[in-house]
Structure 1
Amino acid sequence: MPMDTEHRLDATEIKACCALTYQSDAARLLLGDSFHPGGIRLTEHLGALLHLEPGQRVLDVASGQGRSAIALAQRYSCQVLGIEYGAEAVQQATQAAVEANIAHLVTFQQGDAEHLPVPDNHFDAVICECAFCTFPDKTTAAAEFQRVLKPAGQLGLSDLTRTDEIPEDLQGLLAWIACIADAQPVDAYVRYLTEAGLTITMLENHDAALQEMVQQIQGKLLGAELLQRLQKIKLPASFDLEQAKKLARAAKAAIQANTFGYIALLASKVN
C-alpha cells in the first residue's frame, strides 16, 4: 500500500497498513525476528543506557511480535508491557512469551500509540523502536510517552532519520520494508519530544545498523529468488519480488547518499 502524492492515506489506513506489513510473511522473510535496524543488539543497548533493573516497569510501544520486549525481560528481569496496533501480532507475541517461559514478566495488549491504554505516571521506562516515524500524529504520541512515564522516567527511542526529501522511487517502502514514508530529520524528533515535556539526554548515530539491515534484505531477496526458481519455497501471492529488489536497491543508494540514517536517543521526564 504505497503512499504517493496523488493519494495520501488517512491516519487509520496508515496504522492498519503498517500493522499488516509487520504481520505478513513477507516481513518475516525480509526482516527476520527483529523488525528494526540493529536488531536485539541495539534493543539491549538501549536497555543498558536506560539502566533497566529487576522489578522496573517498561512499556514497549509498537511492540510488534514481541521480540524486543521478551529480550529486555530476559536480560534485565524487568516487567514489560508491549502495546501493538495489530491484533495478530499481539497473539503471536503472547505465544512467543509463553514459549520463552517469560510470560510472568512480559504481557502484550492491543492498543494505539496515540491513545495508550495505560495509566498516567506508571512506567519507569518507555521504549519505541523504529516506529515513531510511522505514527500519523507524532505530537500526540510524544505527549503519550510523557504522560505514562513516572517523574524522572526515561524514554529510549530509535528511528529512521532523513536529511532531505524522500526520493519518489522510495515512496513504496511503506509497504515493503519499514513504513518510512514519514521519517523525520533529527531535529524534528527532538522538537516533538521536547515540546511534549521531555528532556533529551543522549543522542547516538547508528547509520551502520541501517546499512547492514538493507544489505541483509538484499541478500535475503536474492536467496528467495533462487529458492523460488528451484521451487524450494513459494512466496506469498501479494509479494512482488522484482519490486522489492528495486526498492531495496533504491534504499541502499539513498543511505549511501546520506538521505537516510538511524539514531538512538534517550529523553527523561523532569516532573
Structure 2
Amino acid sequence: MNSRHDHCSEQDAQTIKACCADIYQSDWAKLMLGDSFHPGGTVLTGHLGNALQLGPAHRVLDVAAGPGTSALYLAQRFGCRVVGIDYSHAMVDSVTQAAQAAGVAHLVTFVQGDAECLPMPAASFDAVICECAFCTFPDKTVAAAEFARVLKGGGVVGLSDLTRRGGIPLELQSLLAWIACIADAQPLENYIHYLTEAGLTVQRVEPHDYALSEMVRAIQTRLLGTELLVKLKKISLPDTVDFEQAKRLAQAAAAAIQAQQFGYVLLTASKS
C-alpha cells in the first residue's frame, strides 16, 4: 500500500524536501498562492479546527506550517497553543516574526524540523494537523507513525490533502508537480491506510473538491497577471521562474480536476 516513493533513495528524498522548502519560502510561491498555501484557506482550516473540537486547553502541532497562516488562525480563533514545524529555517524565522506582529507569540511558536522525524517527545500534543502537505512527504508511512507518536492518548489528527482516482497523467509527474502536491497525490484509501497502520482510527472523511478547483483557477489568474507585470517590468522574479512550464502544469491540473481525476479530502482520526 506504500506509495511508489516511500522507498525512494535518501538522496532523492532530501532533494524533494529541499526543493519544497526553497519554493514555498520564495516570493514566487507567495505570488501564486497568496496568504494560505492550501485549498480552502482559513475557511477550511476553521472547519478542521471545529471538527477536531479545538479549544484553549489544547496543544496543537501544525506539520509543514509553511507561512504560518493556519497556526496563527487556529490560535486566534480557538485560543489553543500551537507549535508549527517546517523544513525551512528561513520560513521558521519569518513566521516567528509574524506571530509576534499578530500578538499571539504567547500561543504560537515555530520550529525547524522534518515531518518524518519530528523533534518532539512522545505523547506531547492533543492534536496534529497537516494541510496539503502529507502527499509531498517521501515516506508517508513514517510520517503517519510520527503523527501518532507525538499524540497523547485520545488525541486527534486532522489531515487535508489531494486525492487521485486512477493513474497520474505523465505531464503531472515532474518535480514541480510534486512540489505543487500533485505528483504523489494518493487515492483516498491510501490515506486511510497510512493512518490506520499508524494505530489511528479514522472518524471523518469529507470531500472538498470545490476548494481545489477554486485554488487552481486562482493560480491560473495570478500566473497571467504576474507574467504581465514582469513583462511590463513592474516586478522582477528570478530567471529560474518558467512561466510556460507553470502555465502548462496549471492547465493540465485544471483538466485533470475537471475530469475528476483529482479531488481534495479532509480526514480526522483519533488515537485510542
TM-score range, shorter-chain basis? over 0.9
Letter in 2 for 1:85: Y
Letter in 2 for 1:239: V
Deviation of 1:235 (Å): 2.4
Note the 1:117-136 alignment, pairs <5 A. 117-136=119-138
Deviation of 1:179 (Å): 3.5
Deviation of 1:166 (Å): 1.2
Q: Is the 8 A contact 1:87 1:110 kept in 2?
A: yes
The equivalent position to 1:76 in structure 2, one of 78, 85, 90, is: 78
2-structure distance, mates of 1:8, 1:162: 26
2-structure distance, mates of 1:233, 1:17: 23
The equivalent position to 1:59 in structure 2, one of 44, 58, 61, is: 61
Query: Which string of whole-angstrom CA distances, capped at 9 and with x for unpartnered residues, describes residues 69-128 of structure 1?
Result: 011000011000011111111111101101111100000000111111111111110000
Deviation of 1:11 (Å): 1.0
2-structure distance, mates of 1:65, 1:212: 20
RMSD over equivalenced CA pairs, Å: 1.7
1-structure distance, mates of 2:234, 2:180: 27
1-structure distance, mates of 2:189, 2:256: 20
Deviation of 1:228 (Å): 2.2
1-structure distance, mates of 2:177, 2:258: 22
Note the 1:20-39 alignment, pairs <5 A. 20-39=22-41
**SS of alignment partner, residue 10 of structure 1:** helix
Deviation of 1:175 (Å): 5.8
Deviation of 1:225 (Å): 2.1
Q: Is the 8 A contact 2:19 2:179 kept in 1?
A: no
1-structure distance, mates of 2:177, 2:241: 10
**SS of alignment partner, residue 268 of structure 2:** strand
Deviation of 1:172 (Å): 2.9
- Give aligned-pair identity as a percent: 65
Question: Structure 1, unaligned stretches of length 5 or more?
Answer: none
Task: Describe the shift of the 1:130–1:9 C-alpha distance in structure 2 as closer, same or farther (beyond 3 A).
Answer: farther
Q: Is the 8 A contact 2:136 2:184 kept in 1?
A: yes
Q: Is the 8 A contact 1:17 1:175 kept in 2?
A: no
Deviation of 1:131 (Å): 0.7
Question: Structure 1 length as normaliser, TM-score?
Answer: 0.94
Deviating above 4 A after TM superposition, structure 1's stretches of 4 or more consecutive aligned residues are none
Q: Is the 8 A contact 2:60 2:80 kept in 1?
A: yes
Question: Structure 2, unaligned stretches of length 5 or more?
Answer: none
Q: How many residue pairs align between the two structures?
A: 265
Q: Is the 8 A contact 1:27 1:177 kept in 2?
A: no
The equivalent position to 1:218 in structure 2, one of 207, 217, 220, is: 220
Note the 1:14-25 alignment, pairs <5 A. 14-25=16-27
Find the counterpart in structure 1 of residue 266 from structure 2: 264
Find the counterpart in structure 1 of residue 201 from structure 2: 199
